[in-house]
Amino acid sequence: MTRESMDTVTPIVIRNARLLERERPVNIRIEGGIITRISEEPLTAEGAEVYDADGGLASPPLVDPHIHLDAVLTEGFPQANMTGTLIEGIQRWSERKPYLTPDDVAGRAEEALRWHMVHGVLAIRTHVDVSDPSLTALKTLLTLRERMKPWLTLQIVAFPQDGIFCTPRGPELLEEAVRLGADAVGGIPHYEWTREDGLRDVELAFDLARRYQRAVDIHCDETDDDHSRFLETVANCTRLYHLQGRVTASHTTAMGSYNDAYAFKLLRLLARAQVHIVANPLDNIVLQGRFDTYPKRRGMTRVKELIEAGVTVAAGHDSIMDPWYPLGSGNQVFVASMLAHVGHLTGRAQLPWVWRSITEAGATVMELPKYGIREGAPASLVVFCEPTIVDVLRLMSRPRWVFSHGRLLAETVPAVSTVLWEDERLPVTFLRKDAP
């Protein structure tokens, strides 16, 4: 893919779009890759391509702050995960890894990125397994990160899938991945063989982050074991290493099993240290609770309580058709819908939090400096057919148009549905006419 110079790009006017923070629809003018005007009054469309949003919602691009692009689309080869469990998933991935080549990784990752693009996801943080001594996937995705820059922001986390201290040369491989250019240092403390090694896992990630000036994003306490308590160490290291705002703990499902007194203490620590949390409701609703009989736990971190405590909580897709999760399509609205259901977040006051988890909160996790729809900002935005976030979440529809840096990147023709009703063909839009 190539891009022409900004000087030759035709200006764009988007008419009649709804913004979250405004009552009345607006018109948006885009020139030279920048939003130059947002107005409720008509804007001149002379020399511009015109897109009529017809009252649809215009949102900043969706964000996926947690995916494993090296593993996407590998489900079923060389063997499928027949039980659907986390343990069999790890086994199947270890059998798949010898087949990784640069072409294999790049081909699957590019395909998944196109799926994301069509769904309006233009900022993606991928974890990459760096337990492989050749670092094939890491090197391939570092190259892809540069190629994708004109269209989307791709960040890479060096992720020690098999554990740092139970993998031969684990610490060296992690440092080599960071030295080669990973944006963030990962860890997996709950997967190390001992609690002591788990603590060393977290401390090494912070030490590397400080030495190489990187962010931290640790797979932390992704288990139902209520004794898995590395999140408090992450919070404390964030304070000690002065990395407030640059640290993310992903999954943190054990938090759903902690007693309330301990969780209360932990919430305060996390908020004070400004640690961000990424929940991954698709994988964790199916992978956690597997050792339970009934009642079965939901395998979800305490999203509502974290947000109420002032912690940034974003939601990630985690997997697309890989050994851990055979479904998914890069649709972050599906992820948000799952978060709303699994996290008890369907209250009128809470659905905006759910939307935030795949937009602004993800941008905070990824430290995106120019995120949002405003005059002077980069013209990257997504236009849906539906007028509200509730309608988008309910219908899980794809955006009609996705614009990246002032150019149309992806388009979906809206479906037209009708029903034959008493000899009449009636249109069905799934939208309420009397919305309060």
Longest CA–CA span in the chain (Å) reads 73
CB of 248 to Fe ion, least distance (A): 11
Q: Give the pair of three-digit tokens for residue 181.
A: 């250019």
Contact assessment for residue 239 and residue 246, using Cβ atoms and an 8 Å cutoff = no
Per DSSP, 253 falls in state G
Binders in 403-422 for Fe ion, by CB under 5 A: none
Q: Give the residue with the Cβ less far from Fe ion, 151 or 159.
A: 159
| 427 cis-preceded (ω within 30 degrees of 0) | no
Contact assessment for residue 188 and residue 201, using Cβ atoms and an 8 Å cutoff = yes
Binders in 309-368 for Fe ion, by CB under 5 A: 318
CB of 73 to Fe ion, least distance (A): 16
CB of 190 to Fe ion, least distance (A): 12
The residue from 75, 222, 360, 386 that is catalytic is 222
Among the listed residues 151, 214, 150, 215, the one whose alpha carbon sits nearest the alpha carbon of residue 364: 215
365, containing H or E segment = helix 360-365
Q: Give the residue with the Cβ less far from Fe ion, 183 or 318.
A: 318
Euclidean distance between CA atoms 250 and 358, whole angstroms? 14
Q: Give the residue with the Cβ less far from Fe ion, 251 or 302.
A: 251
Which string of x and - marks every residue 255-294 that binds Fe ion (by CB under 5 A)? ----------------------------------------
Residue with nearest beta carbon to Fe ion: 318
CB of 280 to Fe ion, least distance (A): 6
CB of 21 to Fe ion, least distance (A): 32
Q: Give the residue with the Cβ less far from Fe ion, 72 or 389.
A: 72
Euclidean distance between CA atoms 384 and 29, whole angstroms? 17
Non-local (6+) Cβ contacts of 172 within 8 A are none
Per DSSP, 194 falls in state S
Burial 408-428 (b: 16+ CB within 10 A, else e): ebbebeeeeeeeeeeeeeeee
Residue given tokens 């799952």 in the structure block: 338
Q: Give the residue with the Cβ less far from Fe ion, 318 or 360.
A: 318
Q: Give the residue with the Cβ less far from Fe ion, 132 or 318.
A: 318
Rounded-to-10 torsion of CA 251, 254, 257, 258: -120
Which string of x and - marks every residue 185-224 that binds Fe ion (by CB under 5 A)? ----------------------------------------
Q: How many residues does the chain have?
A: 436
Clarify whether 111 is annotated catalytic.
no
Euclidean distance between CA atoms 362 and 357, whole angstroms? 6
148, containing H or E segment = helix 136-148
CB of 271 to Fe ion, least distance (A): 23
State the number of binding residues for Fe ion (CB under 5 A).
1
Q: Give the residue with the Cβ less far from Fe ion, 56 or 281.
A: 281
Contact assessment for residue 291 and residue 224, using Cβ atoms and an 8 Å cutoff = yes
CB of 293 to Fe ion, least distance (A): 26
Backbone angles phi, psi at 167, to 5 degrees: -120, 135
Strands across the sheet with 276-279, in order? Answer: 62-67, 121-129, 153-159, 184-185, 215-220, 247-251, 276-279, 313-315
CB of 421 to Fe ion, least distance (A): 47
Q: Give the residue with the Cβ less far from Fe ion, 162 or 318.
A: 318
* Interface residue list for Fe ion (CB under 5 A): 318
Q: Give me the active site residues, please.
A: 222
